[in-house]
Amino acid sequence: MKSVFSLGVISGILNTMIGLATPFLYAALGETIAQTSGVVNLGVDGIMLLSAFAAFYIALSTGSLWLGLLAAALVGLVMGLLMSFVSVTLKAEQGVSGIGLYMFGLGMSSLLFKILVGTVKTVQGFPPAPIPLLAGIPVIGPIFFRNSIPVYGAFLLVPVVWWMLTKTTLGLKIKSVGQNPAAADSVGISVDRIRYLSVCMGAVLAGIAGASLSLALLNLFQDNLTAGQGFIAVALVYFGAWSPVGVLGGALLFSVVNSFQLWVQVLGVKIPASVAVMLPYLLTIAALTVTINRMRQPAALNKPFERGES
């Protein structure tokens, strides 16, 4: 039995962490955009499931991974429109409509999978794309620079979302409708339109998160493929206090714990599997209790906006 703390194992744990963090990053960064505008989209897991299936099915039947990715983004967009219609236009209780979206995605992806595919099949997922020069660095190279394109994309998205939310007019508009929709409305910003846009951007990213699971990490589809990862992504947004960098930190922390437990099991350390699987969830609850910086929570989070109220 190898020691858990040898260099090989540690770099293995870190490499697995980078992969595991990918879907969390896409989904949680998307949810950060939606929540900054004041909408909690609890249906992320459902979007991920249906998109993961769409990506898998299109890639399987056309042989094109990029078409699969596009299909996932489109499914995300459609489900984002559905969520915005119910939550923004019809002003539904967001926690409840999100659960509806989740159940729809869970049931629909399983239904389509059973009818259209039927048996467990695998696809040839995105291959590792080593970055020239950087991939050659000892230790660090294999950990960070020999991953597939969707993995790089997830990490590149962190500065992109940060820039969009803090440095662009659109970002300021998104923040304003999340903080004080009435004020934003009074200066001529369409609250509903910005919220639609934010929820849909988030949903497209959730779709790509699903595709990253079925086309880059697991290379297959099965019932309830995500096993609740979308919900954890929502928790990471609170954990990261609505900042893309905070979300990155949360995603890496969660993934390193998860990766550690996977490696511990592979190495045959005597911890019951259930305890190991439980760890990340316990960590999330612990993190939620200590880290929430409520000063940063969008003031109008989870509150539908109606003109002339307040």
Partner 1 sequence: MELEESILTSGNPASRTRVLRAPAVDWSRIALNVLLPALGVVFALLLGAVMLVILKANPLAAYAALLNGAVGTRFGITQTLVKATPLLLVGLGICIAFRANVINIGGEGQIIAGALMATWWPLFFHSWPGWILIPSTMIAGFLGGAAWGFIPGILKARLNVNEILSTIMLNAIALQLMNLLLQGPLMDPAGVAARTFLAQSAQLPHQVWLPRLVPRTLLHAGAIVAVVLAVVVYVFLWRTTIGYDIRAVGLNPAAARCSGINVPTFQALALTLAGGFSGLAGVVEVIGVQHRLLEGLTSGYGFTGIVAALLGSLHPIGLIPASVIFGGLLVGGDTMQRAVQVPSSLVMALLGLVVLFVSGSALWSRRWAARRQIGEQKDREEKA
Give the binding site for partner 1 (CB under 8 A).
Answer: 42, 46, 82, 85-86, 90-93, 95-97, 99-108, 110-112, 114-116, 223, 228, 231-232, 234-235, 238, 272-275, 277-278, 281-282, 284-285, 288-289, 292, 294
Whether 123 and 59 have beta carbons less than 8 Å apart is answered as yes
Nearest CB to partner 1, comparing residues 63 and 228: 228
Whether 161 and 58 have beta carbons less than 8 Å apart is answered as no
- Please give the helix or strand (H or E) that residue 179 lies within, else none: helix 169-179
Whether 155 and 249 have beta carbons less than 8 Å apart is answered as no
CB of 108 to partner 1, least distance (A): 4
Nearest CB to partner 1, comparing residues 164 and 227: 227
HSE toward the beta carbon, residue 98, CA cutoff 13 A:
20
Place of tokens 């995105």: 126
CB of 296 to partner 1, least distance (A): 14
CB of 10 to partner 1, least distance (A): 26
Nearest CB to partner 1, comparing residues 108 and 170: 108
Nearest CB to partner 1, comparing residues 103 and 137: 103
CB of 99 to partner 1, least distance (A): 6
Nearest CB to partner 1, comparing residues 21 and 88: 88
Distance CA 212, CA 255 (A): 15
Whether 117 and 58 have beta carbons less than 8 Å apart is answered as no
CB of 284 to partner 1, least distance (A): 5
Q: Is 227 left (phi over 0), alpha (psi -120 to 50) or beta?
A: left
Q: What are phi and psi of 122, to 5 degrees?
A: -115, 155
Non-local (6+) Cβ contacts of 8 within 8 A are 2
Nearest CB to partner 1, comparing residues 198 and 284: 284
CB of 270 to partner 1, least distance (A): 13
Place of tokens 């989070």: 301
The token pair that represents 39 in the structure block: 């909408």
Nearest CB to partner 1, comparing residues 14 and 58: 58
Nearest CB to partner 1, comparing residues 89 and 166: 89
CB of 150 to partner 1, least distance (A): 25
Distance CA 294, CA 115 (A): 46
Closest by CA to 250, choosing from 240, 241, 238, 235, is 240
CB of 6 to partner 1, least distance (A): 28
Which amino acid would we find at residue 125? G
